[in-house]
Amino acid sequence: MTDYAENLVAERNRAWNEAKELTEKAATEKRTLTAEEHEKWERIAGTGGALDTLDEQIKSFADRDAREKENDVLREAIAPVVQAEQRAVQAQEEGPDAFTQWRTQGGVFNVDIRKAAETRQLIRAGADAREVRDLTVGTTTAGGFTVQTTLANRLYDFLEVYSGIRQTNVTVLTMSKGEPFDMPTVTSHGTAAILGEGTAAAEADPALGKVTLTFYKYAQLLQITSELLTDTNVDITGFIAKDMGRAIGRVTDNAYLNGSGTNAPTGALVKMGTATTIQTVATGVPSYGNLVDTVYSVNDLYLGNGASWLMRQAMAGAIRKLTDTTGNPIWQPSLQVGQPDMLLGYPVHHDPNMGAVGTAVSTAIAFGDWSPVVIGEVGTIQLALSTDFAFSSDLTTYRATYRTASNLTDLTGAVKKVLEPST
């Protein structure tokens, strides 16, 4: 960790401790915050306050640092391929790479994100370049290998950045084709019992079913002027990856959570059970007791398998003001760059497609083990280019298409939702 990051974390901790002292003092004196204390608390810990600003700075630094580390690993992993290409260039004149050729001549360019997804999972698990290298060495190339790898990784990065549910421990299946895919589900588990001598065992089977991952296609059009393409030093590859990854990430994230299953993926919130309903009708903010009830509504076995919270950032800001029965804040700020804050001992992830605070009967919070939520994706994002679509405006049109699916495969309560009250 750099001095800059350590200073940010230290400043955040100082701000948090200052806000915490206000609530602890009021709790000790058995009173509520004074107007002056409340104003100071809002300035530090309220929505848009000092803590939010520092959180954004720390997250931005952590994201950049993580990308740089991942790129270092990828550069080392593909070095043998790049060196081989450089030696080949010395022997013959280098032709245009695949991506550049596509940008100038049009047609279809397939960006395979399967290796990007596999590489990301390995790096998160602590793999080094020697382990990652097997994913890249031997890939066929026509001069466009490094460009395609960079574009694929950037696209996949932005798919995750703009999807809160992808930051939990959901299961991601990357398929080579997009046919409907059946998966077993569990609605109740089998049981065992002690037997006396000579006593026959009673049958107690688990209740099994199946769900089908049905893939749906999402697309985005992006238009760029010919002047920008020819006259500027803008990183066009990065711009295309960011804009298209962001657009696809946002729309698919909403489907993974709220999709009806009819002409859309099946959303996890649609199928999961309910843990509790928020009792604070006036504000729509859960009480400390609501949150404790939510944790203990999930089976212990699921709690130990990467359980985490998912909520809107505004809800997180409201919960951060809550205290336990002794007056201590229940929110635990992260002390490590890049790691999420904790609530009652479990990580908190933000997702803009969760229900808004105070919106009747919406799903404000979800909690549990997200691994039974399965996201399926066909491993190729297809990019197409046309100079004819907007010919009269002298615009080049890019189109990205992505096929994906989702469903919840465990209906025994691995993950549950908290509802806003009806009135």
Q: Could you write out the DSSP letters of every residue in 84-109? A: HHHHHHHHSPPPPPHHHHHHHH-EEE
Residue 212 near residue 182 (C-beta atoms within 8 A) = yes
Q: Give the pLDDT confidence of 173-215 residue by residue, as tens digits.
A: 888 888 888 888 766 666 666 766 767 666 666 667 788 899 9
Give the pair of three-digit tokens for residue 365: 């919070």
pLDDT at 65: 72
Beta bridge pairs of residue 185: 209
Rama region for 143: left / alpha / beta (φ>0; ψ in -120 to 50; rest): left
What CATH fold (topology level) applies to the domain 96-176+211-262+373-407? Answer: Major capsid protein gp5 fold (3.30.2400)
For residue 43, pLDDT beyond 80: yes
Q: Of residues 147 and 241, which shows the higher confidence score?
A: 241
Measured between alpha carbons, how far is residue 249 from residues 155, 159, 160, 273, 391 in Å?
A: 9, 4, 7, 25, 29
User: How many angstroms separate the CA atoms of 168 and 164, rounded?
Assistant: 7
Q: How wide is the angle at C-alpha 388 spanned by C-alphas 382 and 394, nearest 5°?
A: 110
pLDDT at 118: 63
Alpha helices, DSSP H only, in 29-136? 35-45, 50-91, 98-105, 114-124, 129-136
Q: Name the pLDDT band for 84 (thresholds 50, 70, 90).
A: very low
Q: Name the pLDDT band for 416 (thresholds 50, 70, 90).
A: very high
Q: What percentage of the chain carries pLDDT values higher than 90?
A: 27
Give the pair of three-digit tokens for residue 203: 């049958």
Rama region for 354: left / alpha / beta (φ>0; ψ in -120 to 50; rest): beta
pLDDT at 54: 80
For residue 406, pLDDT beyond 90: yes
pLDDT at 215: 95
Look at 179-188, 255-264, 293-302 and tell me which has the smallest mean pLDDT. Answer: 179-188
What is the pLDDT of the chain when averaged over all its residues?
78
For residue 5, pLDDT beyond 80: no
For residue 63, pLDDT beyond 90: no
Task: Taking residues 235-245, report their average pLDDT.
Answer: 78
For residue 380, pLDDT beyond 60: yes
Look at 50-54, 87-91, 287-291 and tell me which has the smallest mean pLDDT. Answer: 87-91
* Boundaries of every domain in the chain: 96-176+211-262+373-407
User: How many angstroms separate the CA atoms of 6 and 366, rounded?
Assistant: 32
Q: Give the pLDDT confidence of 331-373 residue by residue, as tens digits.
A: 988 777 667 899 999 999 999 999 999 888 899 999 999 999 9
pTM for this entry: 0.67
Measured between alpha carbons, how far is residue 260 from residues 186, 205, 266, 284 in Å?
A: 20, 30, 5, 25
Task: Taking residues 48-76, report their average pLDDT.
Answer: 72
pLDDT at 275: 92
Q: Give the pLDDT confidence of 139-158 residue by residue, as tens digits.
A: 333 333 334 455 666 777 77
Task: Taking residues 293-321, report their average pLDDT.
Answer: 92
